[in-house]
Amino acid sequence: MKTSFLAFFATLFWATTSLAQDAPMGLDERINQTISPVTNAIAGVIFYSIPVSDDIGLPVIVVWLVVAALFATFYFNFISVRAFNHAIALVRGDYADPKDAGEVSHFQALATALSGTVGLGNIAGVAIAVSIGGPGATFWMILAGFLGMSLKFAECTLGVKYRNEYADGTVSGGPMYYLSKGLGEKGMGGLGKVLAVFFAICCIAGSLGGGNMFQANQSFQQFVNVTGGEASFMADKGWLFGLIIAALVGVVIIGGIQSIAKVTEKVVPFMAIIYCTAAVIIIVMNIDKVPAAFGAIITGAFNPEGVAGGAIGALIQGFRRAAFSNEAGIGSASIAHSAVRTKEPVTEGLVALHEPFIDTVVICTMTALVIVITGTYTAGGGMSGVELTSLAFESAFSWFPYVLALAVILFAFSTMLSWSYYGVKCWTYLFGESRSMDLLFKVIFCIFVVIGASMNLGPVIDFSDSAIFAMSIANIIGLYILFPVVKEELSSYWSRLKSGEIRKYVPGEAGTGT
């Protein structure tokens, strides 16, 4: 471990200093000029749109996600509502048997997955949706979060069912495994392998984009905001900020999922409490404006007038940002949930129900309410992303941008940890399970932290959205084919739970736990 640890940082230090040594002051500009044309081209393919009017196009990929989420909600008979309370008991560990195969607890798996979703999509992504789609985008974000709960349930159940369990106690799971193995059981092994490889490639790109570059970009932006803006000593040194964050990320990810889980189970609750408490305070301070804010949200969601603020524009932005935030249907979270200690795949699917609820229905809604209540989405002077959210919070507390800067960095840091795990699992799926392959990807991941901190927001968003949404193409094809498998697992589990065959875990008592 010591050798690999030193090798990791030696490689990371060499790569990043080589990038910056000859002209650090112009490195940010050079990175933008090189990468932006590539990200624009990729985004144009992934977000191919059907013209709705002269000003609005409906991305086919958004329709793809919405239809799948709606289908899953009805197919599983609103499992997100029926199993909500039981899922809480599972998160508490009431049914957990510590002797089951796996590496982390239900709570740790949820915290790790949440650390990949509860991040800057909740802070910067919501601001982008409201600034472009108006307050009405909030309504569609909430609806997308609710519908996404059933998709998340299905993919995380499959992730555990088809995971690989190794002799040393480690596990590997996720769409690349349930696509190849699950479809193989259905006599579609060739299709399954093609979809698995396609997903793995897209997930690697997504881990470097939305799970890395976007996080580094927005945390750097907020750091610059609170240290003097354009006059900040770090304003043109995104590469240096990225190098510092990359080193911190490397310290954690070198230890694998157990190391990541130990950090995320502490960081996620802490950062969520800080952020949500601040949002609640602002909402309470402006309680008289809440009815008008909800009125604007509902009206904007169905308002046929306007361009970006019209109903279609609001719907597109709401669903697009919600999918980026909670990743339901994307398949990424099932990689983290697959590491859970359990012998019942459905239990982790039920635990995963809470992910879109916490991420989108609760936290994204709070962010949107603060932006709408304070009116900054119309008075932001063209601001978007984390700058707009910061302005909204600053309107209530002049000092809050400093607190937000801490929250943003923590959000970004925890998201990077989870996505590094997603990326490395897909990387080793493609190139083989070995320490050298594991280490190589982690070095690449940390280099992309530096690149993300140096780029402009536009290209980062294009690349992030494109890679992450592309993952849903293979994942949802597989989900449609494997939904009956999930339904069988759910029916079996639910009947055994109601009959008393599945009971809360009691140490030393045989036949308890899941």
Task: Name 165's Cβ contacts closer than 8 Å, sequence gap at least 6.
Answer: 101, 171
Structural domains for the chain: 2-496 (1.20.1740.10)
Average model confidence (pLDDT) for the chain?
Answer: 77
- Which token pair is 104? 């982390």
* 26-35, 52-61, 79-88, 405-414: segment of lowest average pLDDT: 26-35
CA distance 373 to 288: 10
Confidence of residue 309 (pLDDT cuts 50, 70, 90): very low
Q: 43 to each of 64, 217, 353, how far by Cα in Å?
A: 16, 18, 30
- Which token pair is 216? 């580094």
DSSP classification of residue 209: I
Q: Which amino acid is at 397?
A: F
Residue among 339, 334, 343 at smallest CA distance from 492: 343
Residue among 371, 124, 317, 368 at smallest CA distance from 225: 124
CA distance 382 to 388: 9
CA distance 316 to 259: 37
CA distance 194 to 202: 12
Q: What are the tens digits of pLDDT across the range 397-410?
A: 777 777 777 777 78
Q: Are 465 and 47 in contact (CB under 8 A)?
A: yes
Task: Name 225's Cβ contacts closer than 8 Å, sequence gap at least 6.
Answer: 386, 387, 390, 401, 405
- Which token pair is 269? 């609750």
Average pLDDT over residues 265-282: 79
Q: What are the tens digits of pLDDT across the range 197-250?
A: 999 998 998 888 777 887 888 778 777 777 766 666 767 777 788 888 888 888
pTM to 2 decimal places? 0.79
Q: In this predicted structure, what is the pLDDT of residue 426?
A: 92
